[in-house]
Amino acid sequence: MMDERRRMVQDLMERGYIKSEAVRRAMERVPREEFVPEDERHRAYMDMPLPIGEGQTISAPHMVAMIAEILDLEPGMKVLEIGTGCGYNAAVIAEIIGPEGHLYTVERIGSLYERARRKLRSLGYDNITVIHGDGSQGFADEAPYSRIYVTAAAPYIPDPLMKQLEIGGKLLIPVGSDKFYQELVLVERTSADDYRSRNLGGVAFVPLIGKHGWKFH
């Protein structure tokens, strides 16, 4: 499916979602078809979210590209992802930060955690560690992080994630109470006690469940 992958990347470049060479290379290298269920593989390179089980989805390729571009990643960075899902987004970020960098990714749903962990290992991503837990609390064991990004929508920005950023680090998170519409917020830690944030526009993500997210009903 390499030809389809190249066409998808070209389309994202023409539409302005992919701006940098690093993101272009990463999205050309990662086989999205490996991360979707067998019966969805024929749609792997359509620019749309797809179901991956447990009521969760793999983000549309344009959103993955947007996240990677906004984070302004560099080789060697330590990154925290909240919401592993199928592992596709993690693989793209891992390609950009390279073997000298490391990505820690937290997934609360056991079956998705196991599937993503096996898939990423089978594809050779030694610079990714998958953790089973409550992502709304971050992963303090390896803090601080240069970048943190969240692939689910929170009702507010979780304090643990703010505190796990290094000074100069950036946090990208969808925030909002609406099921179908949230705001994508970029937070930068400017000192030990100071942060600045800006709204990047409307998005739609599944809810972040956990202590500092939405509660189970």
- 24, 51, 90, 124 from 144: Cα distances, Å: 28, 32, 18, 25
Token representation of residue 69: 């571009």
Token representation of residue 179: 């099921």
Per the CB < 8 A criterion, the answer to whether 164 and 184 are in contact is no
59 is an active site residue: yes
Put residue 201 in one of left, alpha, beta given phi > 0 → left and psi -120 to 50 → alpha: left
Q: Which of the residues 59, 111, 136, 191 is marked catalytic?
A: 59
Active site members: 59
